[in-house]
Chain A
Amino acid sequence: MSHRKVMLAAAAILLTAAATLAAPPAIAASCNAGFPSNVDLAGKHVALLAHGWNGAELVRTRQLLQDELDDAWAVGTFSYPDLNAQWPDKSGAAQCLQQAIRDVHTRTGSTDANVYLVAHSMGGILARFATNSSDDPSIDDIVAGVVTLDTPHRGSPMGATNIAAMLQLANGGGFGDGSKCLAPHHPGSLPTGCGYAPYLSPDIPVAQIVGDVTITRNFFAFGFSGLDTNGDGVVWVNSQSGYDGSSEGPAPGNAIITRQVDCESALAVLAAHQGSRLNLANPLSVFGITGSKQVAAGDPILNTNSTAVAMLGAIAKTTACGHTGMTENPQAITMIADSLRSMPARTAAWVIDGTGFGPVKIGGTLDAAKAEPSVTVEDLGSPWCGSVNGDGWWSAEAPAGEGSDLVSVILIGSSYNGEGEPARTSGAPATAAGITIGSTAEEVFVAYPDARLANEQYSRSARFPDYQDYVVEINGGPVVLGTEGGVVDAIMIGQEGIPYELCS
């Protein structure tokens, strides 16, 4: 073979190799939500477990978590093997997870937000991209909570290091930007081309489960010393618990729970594990100087300190609350389960029309509404006073007052904010056009150009000039959108006018 042919062959191999390593894989076959085949998701709360960078399906974690939860829960896995080396902002993995969320939600047969994400490591970043409501607000109506496990909300010291890039290559991740984008995530410091993980919708509670390893040293019977590594070997504690402040500005009011698992590992165990395959040059200085001082100074990047990387790797792999160990740590599993139980499923926003709203219908009973776990009904015989998710209030009345259990009129009212104005709450019942408590009169007329003033005989405006109540026909029946000061403060169904308040 001539020298020219050798060069051409080499070029072909090079191009093939480069294409293989660099080309993003097809999305269609790249992710999967897995449940045991005999699991029926109907009526269940569903937790989806997402793995992290270079990770694989969290099969064992699924079993442990399912054992910890009762039969009202179904725990499944979400894996994205061909995309796990890509930063989730543009890999397609987020869209894949979002589709998986919608699919399992459909299988539950519920309209409530009853899907939970439990995400390890970079999976937590993926979860944040997947539930980004600015892309599709309806995802808020499905996801009830997110639990992150050792997630580098503010990055990892391994991010953007040569060793991370090499590990990714060796693990089949090619030249994906995951290793690069896992760099510390303080706003302004993320590498070029890496997008900040968005905050979750304020309705979605967040639980951060954190692992923290202390290295112990025993000196015969004379004493011991302990060195807190302030991390799990891959992610520092302040990053694992750093959701708030990890993107632009503070988090938008999410309820945030942080729980920490502490554990110890003897230096001898780490040395034996790692010493067999790396020059264990000076592990003590790594944690006496490199580790603790860099942690104290902020999130570090360990660019070239191979000893530090080696020891961190040993911690991550061998300790009970190390980065990998946390996925099967009994204490962590219990914390995840407790966190999930503390996040109640949210009732989907009830749609208002002329027939009623949600399960409360004119001419019907309140049985269906009472069966909703998020609904509270104060049963006074008539009127009935209820709330959804403890938010706002509504009331219903029987046609002949006491003695009937059939609803004739429904009044949807409002809680008020500190200014005495109707509070517009997320998840509040709304018309299909989006008009709800807190909407403005202008918004009403945009949505319903045919809106007309209510018959004064029934209207509050007859007595109080600040009130203007508008009637619109929706789905064959009248809905009164009552405004006070130009803002919707009450919605009446079944009667043209808002003469009084049934509950207050």
Chain B
Amino acid sequence: MPSQSTNSRPKWIIPAALAAVVAVVVAGCIAAFTFGWFGLGGGTSTAAAPTSTPSGALPTEQVAALEAQLESGDPAQLSVALALDESQLTPEMTSGFGTSDLVFDTAAAVQYEHAWDVPVTVTTEAGDTSEWIATIIDTEDGLVLGDTRAAE
């Protein structure tokens, strides 16, 4: 039976431990960079501005499906498209979406990784048109209309 000696210690332990420490530190740096979260306890930390890139990745067929859901005026479909409970839908929302024509300009979308700002033209039943920027979010359940703001 071979005698036990320190040489029998697995030689990968120390490098592996070192690698683990380095990995944690690197992960921390990545996380902090990712969240822009330095100094939550106050002080003079600075939030990084969002970076955006022109998008070619907005799935146009899913946008079309979202558009159809919104324009249907059907509370069940509308609640999915807005990620709201049906109980949160107001009559104005149901009738407004159901009687308006929405045209998403997907070619002009600006991507924020898994969210997009998309210009939208809204034409109401009375024929009034208005320009908006819609924030569409890619969720686990598909595209959702997250928010809108008037186009400047």
Query: Are A166 and B31 within 8 A (Cβ)?
Result: yes
Interface residues of A in 142-191 (CB under 8 A from B): 163, 165-171
Q: Does B27 sit at the interface, judged by CB under 8 A? A: yes
Query: Are B83 and A234 within 8 A (Cβ)?
Result: no
Query: Are A220 and B34 within 8 A (Cβ)?
Result: no
Dominant SS among interface residues on chain A: helix
Closest residue on chain A to residue B93 by CB atoms:
A223
Known A-B contacts A223-B96, A234-B40, A271-B147; the reply to A14 vs B35 at CB < 8 A is no
Query: Are B42 and A121 within 8 A (Cβ)?
Result: yes
Q: Mark B44-62, 1 if CB is under 8 A from A, else 0.
A: 1101101110000000000
Query: Are A57 and B43 within 8 A (Cβ)?
Result: yes
Q: Does A327 sit at the interface, judged by CB under 8 A? A: yes
Known A-B contacts A61-B42, A166-B32, A222-B93; the reply to A7 vs B14 at CB < 8 A is yes
Q: Mark B4-23, 1 if CB is under 8 A from A, else 0.
A: 00000001001101100100
Query: Are A276 and B112 within 8 A (Cβ)?
Result: yes
Query: Are A53 and B115 within 8 A (Cβ)?
Result: no
Closest residue on chain B to residue A156 by CB atoms:
B40
Given the complex, which residues of B lie within 8 Å of A275, measured CB to CB?
Answer: 50, 112-115, 137
Query: Are A279 and B113 within 8 A (Cβ)?
Result: yes
Q: Does B66 sit at the interface, judged by CB under 8 A? A: no
- Complex Cα distance, B120 from A87, in Å, reads 50
Chain A CB count within 10 A is highest, among B14, B43, B83, for: B43
Q: Mark A478-502, 1 if CB is under 8 A from B, else 0.
A: 0000000000000000000000000
Known A-B contacts A222-B96, A277-B113; the reply to A167 vs B41 at CB < 8 A is no
Given the complex, which residues of B lie within 8 Å of A97, measured CB to CB?
Answer: none
Given the complex, which residues of A lie within 8 Å of B139, measured CB to CB?
Answer: 281-285
Known A-B contacts A284-B137, A284-B139; the reply to A13 vs B45 at CB < 8 A is no
Chain B CB count within 10 A is highest, among A121, A122, A217, for: A217
Q: Does B3 sit at the interface, judged by CB under 8 A? A: no
Closest residue on chain A to residue B120 by CB atoms:
A220
Interface range, A side = 35 or more
Q: Does B68 sit at the interface, judged by CB under 8 A? A: no
Query: Are B40 and A316 within 8 A (Cβ)?
Result: yes
Known A-B contacts A268-B149, A283-B137; the reply to A51 vs B43 at CB < 8 A is yes
Query: Are A10 and B11 within 8 A (Cβ)?
Result: no
Query: Are B42 and A166 within 8 A (Cβ)?
Result: no
Given the complex, which residues of A lie within 8 Å of B41, measured CB to CB?
Answer: 51-56, 84, 120-123
Known A-B contacts A59-B44, A219-B148; the reply to A225 vs B18 at CB < 8 A is no
Query: Are B34 and A278 within 8 A (Cβ)?
Result: yes
Known A-B contacts A55-B42, A169-B24, A280-B138; the reply to A14 vs B31 at CB < 8 A is no
Query: Are A171 and B39 within 8 A (Cβ)?
Result: yes
Given the complex, which residues of A lie within 8 Å of B14, measured CB to CB?
Answer: 7, 10-11, 14
Partner of A220, one of B47, B96, B135: B96
Given the complex, which residues of A lie within 8 Å of B146, measured CB to CB?
Answer: 217, 267-268, 271, 283-284
Interface residues of A in 53-100 (CB under 8 A from B): 53-61, 84
Known A-B contacts A220-B122, A271-B135, A310-B35; the reply to A13 vs B40 at CB < 8 A is no
Q: Does A432 sit at the interface, judged by CB under 8 A? A: no
Known A-B contacts A14-B21, A277-B113, A278-B34; the reply to A53 vs B40 at CB < 8 A is yes
When A and B form their complex, which 5 residue pairs have the shortest distance between CB atoms, in order from nearest?
A: A55-B41, A56-B43, A52-B41, A222-B96, A275-B112
Supply 23 A–B pairs (Cβ within 8 Å), ascending by A: A7-B14, A7-B15, A14-B14, A18-B21, A55-B43, A61-B42, A120-B41, A166-B32, A167-B28, A170-B30, A170-B33, A171-B32, A217-B82, A220-B120, A222-B96, A223-B90, A271-B147, A276-B51, A281-B138, A281-B140, A282-B139, A285-B83, A318-B47
